[in-house]
Amino acid sequence: MEAAIVSVFGLLVGSFLNVCIYRIPKNISVVYLPKSHCPKCKNEIKWYDNIPVVSFLILGGRCRNCKTKISPRYLTVELLTSALFLLAYLKFGFSPELFSAAILFSFLIVIALIDFKTQYIYDVTVVPLAILGLLFSYFVRGQSPLLSLVGFLTGGAIFLTIAYAGRLLYKFEVMGMGDVKLAAAIGAFLGWQSTIAMVIVTFTLGCIVGLLLLITKKKGGKDPVPFGPFLVLGTFVMILAGEKLTGLLNPGWNN
Ligand SMILES: [Zn+2]
């Protein structure tokens, strides 16, 4: 029963995250209405056409008015948010950790999808995330404001080093400042030990996908690949399954 509530709540949050993903790059407020409109015909989307998953399926993924196809991203984000909330619930139960993980995951979904689309990580997403990480460290198991602050600096320092080294060695941007800020904000949530483990997981994922893209010739050696989504994936793995990967490096969260 609890699991069902958490899943449905995840769908509703996912629906709001879709609004954020659409509006933040366009610089439209996410809290202040205007109501949602179809991007094509500008018709206002009624509440009954805005029910997560259900409406998408009933309308066959099309606008009721002009029949324009609605991006499957909307459905994907809702289901992904729900699944991640459920996994966090199964791991942490109803607890401060579940609350923190849900907030962190919500921000990360928005950041990853915007980065994927626009190759840009917005300060309005990473700055609040860093502050929340520091605040939540008071009540997350095994964390403390000090660990959180050191985590913030660790994440930031590692990625700043990579960014500068890349600029010196390759003379082009291998890592943007957005990635540095994101790594720092995640570090504030994870604490420094888990941040180091997260970086290892992230680069492993990045290397595997990078090689696949090169082999399948989807990307050339110098094409930019947004790194934010990998940081986000690495963090999901650390929060949900960190203890299976590392013993020593991973206190807090998984104890
Ligand atoms: Zn329409």
Domain ranges of the chain: 1-93, 95-255
- Distance of CA 66 from the midpoint of ligand 1 (Å): 4
pLDDT recorded at residue 43: 85
| Tokens representing residue 252 in the block | 């807090």
Lowest mean pLDDT among 181-190, 205-214, 238-247: 238-247
pLDDT recorded at residue 121: 94
* CB contact at 8 A, 147 and 194: no
**Which chain residues have CB less than 5 Å from ligand 1, an ion?**
38, 40-41, 63, 65-66, 68
- Distance of CA 240 from the midpoint of ligand 1 (Å): 39
32 vs 91, more confident: 91
* CB contact at 8 A, 188 and 152: yes
Is 90 exceeded by the pLDDT of residue 173? no
- Distance of CA 110 from the midpoint of ligand 1 (Å): 24
Dihedral angle sign, alpha carbons of residues 154, 160, 166, 172:
positive
Average pLDDT on 50-54 reads 86
From 113, 122, 114, select the one nearest 181 (Cα to Cα). 122
- Distance of CA 125 from the midpoint of ligand 1 (Å): 29
- Distance of CA 65 from the midpoint of ligand 1 (Å): 5
- Distance of CA 47 from the midpoint of ligand 1 (Å): 15
Q: Rounded to whole angstroms, how far apart are CA atoms 127 and 111?
A: 12
Of 115-119, 121-125, 240-244, which one has max mean pLDDT?
121-125
- Distance of CA 74 from the midpoint of ligand 1 (Å): 15
Is 90 exceeded by the pLDDT of residue 160? yes
- Distance of CA 68 from the midpoint of ligand 1 (Å): 6
SS3 37: strand
Average pLDDT, the chain: 88
Is 60 exceeded by the pLDDT of residue 250? no
